[in-house]
Structure 1
Amino acid sequence: MTALIRPSSLQGLTAADRVLFQRFGTGKAAGVPFRRIHDAVLAQARARPDAPAVMHLGASLTYAELDRRSASLAASLIGLGVRPGQHVGLFLTRSIPMVVGILAVLRAGAAYVPQDVRIAPARQLRQIVRSAGIEVVLTTREHSAALPADLGRVVAIDDEHAHGDPPAAAGGGTAMVIFTSGTTGRPNGVQVTHANLANVLLTAPGSLGIRPGDRVAQLLNIAFDMAAWEILGTLAHGGCLLIRGRDIEETARAADVVIATPGVLSTVDPQACPRVRTVAVAGERCPAALADAWSRRARFHNACGPTEVTIVNTVQRYDPRRGPLTIGRPVPNTTVYVLDDELRPCPIGQAGEMWAGGACVTAGYAGDDVLTAERYRPDPFLGGPHRMFRTRDLVRWTADGQLEHHGRTDDQVKVRGFRVELDAVTATLERAPGCDRAATLLYEGGLVGFVTPSTAEPELIRRSAEAALPYYSVPAMIVPVEGLPLTERGKVDRRALLSRLDSREPAGTVA
């Protein structure tokens, strides 16, 4: 549980702000029922063995079948020499074997390293194998022939494996290694522990109220940390995971709970999904109009947090009748600090950079102690062995203790000598008449705003922006497009948008 913030670390604040720094920045203390995330899944298998655990393209597994198949595969992994603390590649795509593989690796005491083989090039897979020290790779028969030949021992999940339970494995350390491009331009493997996952997935609000029998959509790329929220968050509470095929909305329509990026959620019509009762978004800024549309039909959670602080570290249950859209408060047993460039606490209400502490802070980057030391620092507010992580999110506390998101430090650009936050410009464009969604980019020294739908009127949007923004923040071009392209992880693909300008391909009316 989160320790108290040390008063000696708050010398620069007024007495009133010291109280609020502690009150606002400390998540509630909560008990976590399981030390290892897969123990929660296995408890569900014992309690309701005949309940459906996972469905995909007409096939399904009950909890008892998932338990049996993952136990057999875990025994085979241990027989191949996989030991607690090791990393096992999970190189495949959305499927029932994907879920079996995750649970088997965890039961063997190892950590899984997921990659979608339809998307990840051979060069990237080789680099991940090297940097994570992977000796065994799990895949399926369908994909095994397409993998590079030099990845180590490759095991097909859908082959026959030894029967019976695996030997008791220790484990309890790292549960998964998620590779993110980070700010260095090369993949960085974030080591997420069982304690990290159990804290966010087994306590509210991260548990999302998932109950036995609830159907949860699995929409996201398996290499994305939010996929663990979908998969392990569902199975740990006895829900049924609905793995999508090609049609995202078809899966969402059959679900009770949807977890997605705003980009993915924007492709789903809320009126077509009357069954959905809970929605959670994270991964990028959520447009207010999207939150409003879904919150009229379901409990809507807006969350924030990079992989390094375990999927999300702040969550708001959004209700437009109670106040504006924010990123909420820290999840249980964690802390949030709003700090200036010198790592001093900002006065309450002043914008600064979000650093996260407590149970959300992951174990650093696999094989990169230098980058770990740069981004993870000793936590002066909790003291002792605690570390805090620099999220690069710009935030400020509201008067009632909600975190407003003001973009990211790596999304700040200079235009005509002025500092501009791209997210602030985007939010303004989305408030313009006729604009559903937007993205703002720096291009050849000026700003370009991409807006949807393609029928949006650039001049009308420009006038609206001019009325709300300083002159240097108004995009020089407004480009209507039919839809914003998404990356494989469901976020707006800024490179794809820039390539339209570089190639001078028609992308709608340019004002």
Structure 2
Amino acid sequence: MSVSPTDKAAFSLNALGHLPAEQQGKFEHWGRGASATPSHGCVHHAIEMQVALAPQAVAAEWAGQRISYEQLNRQANRLAAHLIEQGVRRGDTVALFVERSIPMLVGLLAVLKVGAAYVPQDARIVPPLQLARVLESLSSPLVLTLSNLKDCLPSAAMQSHLCLDEFLAQEPWVAQDNNRPFSAADTDDLCFVLFTSGTTGRPNGVRVSHRNLCNVLLTEPGRMGMAPGRNVGQILNIGFDMAAWEILGCLAQGATLLIRGKDFAQTAARCHVLIATPSILATLAPEQCPDLKVVAVAGEPCSQALADRWAGHCEFYNGCGPTETTIVNTLHRHAPGAALTIGRPTPNNTVYVLDAEGRACELGATGEMWAGGAGVTAGYLNNPALTQERYRPDPFLGGDALMFRTRDLGRWTFDGQLEHLGRVDDQVKVRGFRVELDAVSRALEAGEGCAQAVTLKLDDRTLVAFVVPASANVDDCKHQCEQQLAYYCVPSVICAVEHFPLTARGKIDKALLLQQARKRQVARLALPAEEAMYV
């Protein structure tokens, strides 16, 4: 499934033979990340090393409480022993239906120590029916949760659940002499299973191994400046893959995790390192975060304006990669004023821009990005058919290596940087013409005062766009779009709003925006055309 960090055999010439000779070397050089060896093969072993180095250092803060690395490790060991008594074994998948809290950290770490994989869901916001579907897929019937969330659980969980906060309250945090390390897990064992929305209406569980995760968290630039004495924000939903970057990345590097409450801006103001989606970051101002040293965004396209704004304040990284390639498989440090890209592959990873037949595109041509290397995950839980459909043998690395179809469009720039050009499924037909919605949004973002734009297809003849903030010059946004794109790409309706609505995972809620657009369309029908354009 993965390549060794030291495996630097040349790309197969058979897969590159159709390219001009001068491009073959560049295709490999640009498409292959550096070789690096993570310091640990299992992420919890890296955390245990931090316990040994600085046991009294603060591991996390939440709701006025603090827990040291030693206390966290002792409690996780005590819970791990209890999980084994309850029948949890190495290789199991265990539900972690929680909300942000210190008990969440203890539960997560304890599962890893057993050699099992945690399966995170935010029980406050995920419907019980979806929780039940996730639970049906798991090998362990035990559900780790919190006492205030018991009423949110599906009925199937009521007979076999453990409230983490109640368990931890049974003993003082430093009373147990059980600070020994567990060593059940191996680098190829699963670390967590992340459920994404499936096209069939049923969630798909992506199986992420310790090898996959350590390759991101324990190499540069994935370390993101996390280190002892630095605060890392925990602002993302536990069910979002980037939350593992915040949580486990922080603890593996000996930093302090600041677990946010309702006001995440209050937490961000104290952070040295922040990982977010562009939509979440757009609600903050750099001056609110005076101590911030490093910021990384991923999960959705980032605007040039947002990147420039934050890159002038701190180190700013723009990344890309679906859950199936382990959080991100490209990262790029952006310089203010430079063209925004997603950079090159992270260590031990590869990215290929391929045409519709799966052949390497000529450099500079637009194609679909496929991801290979150490970040490629082990496929979908209990779904070999879907795994076979989306994971394919890697013709460039050869052997038993696999690559994953990201469904992201991209192209190489003249200096070997990847430009993200939207999603394959963001290509729509309007008036019979093919339109890339992300390309329209980028054109709108060049308008005066526009920080970010989203473009949606309203019907077969109509595009609608939303721009932020409300003070953005809508006329100039439209003008920029008209100057850069064909007439059929220009949205019929452009709405300026102060903030975009966000999903629970911190991404723009496009479904809600589309609902709002349809309501505005009804109102627009009663207005003269010149007034209706900007309702």
| Preserved contact between residue 315 and residue 331 of structure 1 (Cα < 8 Å) | yes
Shift of 1:167: 6.1
* Alignment partner, residue 373 of structure 1: 388
In structure 1, runs of 5+ residues without a counterpart are none
| Preserved contact between residue 247 and residue 257 of structure 2 (Cα < 8 Å) | yes
* Match for residue 197 of structure 2 among 165, 181, 202: 181
* Alignment partner, residue 352 of structure 2: 337
* Alignment partner, residue 439 of structure 1: 454
1:21-60 paired onto structure 2 within 5 Å: 21-60=27-66
Task: Give SS of 2:84's match.
Answer: helix
Shift of 1:510: 3.0
1:82-481 paired onto structure 2 within 5 Å: 82-151=88-157, 153-160=160-167, 163=176, 164=178, 165=180, 168-172=183-187, 173-320=189-336, 323-445=338-460, 446-481=462-497
- 1:510 equivalent to 2:525? Answer no
Shift of 1:166: 7.6
* Whole-Å separation in 2 of the counterparts to 1:404 and 1:109: 39
Shift of 1:93: 0.5
- Counterpart of 2:454, as a letter, is A
Shift of 1:299: 0.2
Aligned residues with identical type, % of pairs: 51
User: More displaced, 394-403 or 161-170?
Assistant: 161-170
Shift of 1:134: 3.9
| Preserved contact between residue 413 and residue 421 of structure 1 (Cα < 8 Å) | yes
Shift of 1:196: 0.3
**Shift in CA distance, 117/509, structure 1 to aligned 2, threshold 3 Å:** farther
- Counterpart of 2:167, as a letter, is E
| Preserved contact between residue 108 and residue 166 of structure 1 (Cα < 8 Å) | no
* Whole-Å separation in 1 of the counterparts to 2:165 and 2:32: 45
* Whole-Å separation in 1 of the counterparts to 2:281 and 2:523: 26
User: More displaced, 495-504 or 282-291?
Assistant: 495-504
| Preserved contact between residue 72 and residue 166 of structure 1 (Cα < 8 Å) | no
Q: Deviations over 1:71-117 (max 9, x none)?
A: 11111111111111110000010111111111110001000000001
How many residues matched? 510
Shift of 1:489: 0.5
Shift of 1:168: 4.5
* Whole-Å separation in 1 of the counterparts to 2:452 and 2:348: 35
* Whole-Å separation in 1 of the counterparts to 2:317 and 2:519: 38
* Whole-Å separation in 2 of the counterparts to 1:92 and 1:310: 22
* Whole-Å separation in 1 of the counterparts to 2:299 and 2:85: 38
Shift of 1:186: 2.8
Shift of 1:506: 7.6
* Whole-Å separation in 1 of the counterparts to 2:448 and 2:197: 35
Shift of 1:187: 1.1
- Counterpart of 2:191, as a letter, is A
| Preserved contact between residue 26 and residue 330 of structure 1 (Cα < 8 Å) | yes
| Preserved contact between residue 458 and residue 518 of structure 2 (Cα < 8 Å) | no
| Preserved contact between residue 113 and residue 182 of structure 2 (Cα < 8 Å) | no
TM-score by length of 2: 0.92
| Preserved contact between residue 179 and residue 189 of structure 1 (Cα < 8 Å) | yes
* Whole-Å separation in 1 of the counterparts to 2:320 and 2:387: 21
| Preserved contact between residue 234 and residue 243 of structure 2 (Cα < 8 Å) | yes
- Counterpart of 1:120, as a letter, is V
* Whole-Å separation in 2 of the counterparts to 1:435 and 1:483: 12
* Whole-Å separation in 2 of the counterparts to 1:167 and 1:159: 23
Give the CA RMSD over aligned residues.
Answer: 1.7
* Whole-Å separation in 2 of the counterparts to 1:167 and 1:217: 27
* Whole-Å separation in 1 of the counterparts to 2:182 and 2:113: 9
**Shift in CA distance, 506/94, structure 1 to aligned 2, threshold 3 Å:** farther
**Shift in CA distance, 255/166, structure 1 to aligned 2, threshold 3 Å:** closer
In structure 2, runs of 5+ residues without a counterpart are 525-531
* Whole-Å separation in 1 of the counterparts to 2:286 and 2:296: 13
| Preserved contact between residue 3 and residue 382 of structure 1 (Cα < 8 Å) | no
* Whole-Å separation in 2 of the counterparts to 1:427 and 1:390: 24
TM-score by length of 1: 0.97
| Preserved contact between residue 218 and residue 242 of structure 1 (Cα < 8 Å) | yes
- 1:14 equivalent to 2:30? Answer no
Q: Deviations over 1:316-365 (max 9, x none)?
A: 011136x3110011000111111011100000111111101110000000
* Whole-Å separation in 1 of the counterparts to 2:463 and 2:429: 10
| Preserved contact between residue 132 and residue 189 of structure 1 (Cα < 8 Å) | no
* Alignment partner, residue 517 of structure 2: 501
Shift of 1:272: 1.5
Shift of 1:277: 0.7
Task: Give SS of 2:156's match.
Answer: coil
| Preserved contact between residue 75 and residue 166 of structure 1 (Cα < 8 Å) | no
| Preserved contact between residue 309 and residue 336 of structure 2 (Cα < 8 Å) | no
- 1:484 equivalent to 2:484? Answer no
Shift of 1:59: 0.4
| Preserved contact between residue 447 and residue 473 of structure 2 (Cα < 8 Å) | no
| Preserved contact between residue 75 and residue 167 of structure 1 (Cα < 8 Å) | no
Task: Give SS of 1:132's match.
Answer: coil
Task: Give SS of 1:500's match.
Answer: helix
Shift of 1:22: 0.7
- Counterpart of 1:85, as a letter, is G
Shift of 1:502: 3.2
**Shift in CA distance, 205/182, structure 1 to aligned 2, threshold 3 Å:** farther
* Whole-Å separation in 1 of the counterparts to 2:232 and 2:534: 41
* Whole-Å separation in 2 of the counterparts to 1:251 and 1:136: 32
* Whole-Å separation in 2 of the counterparts to 1:509 and 1:249: 35
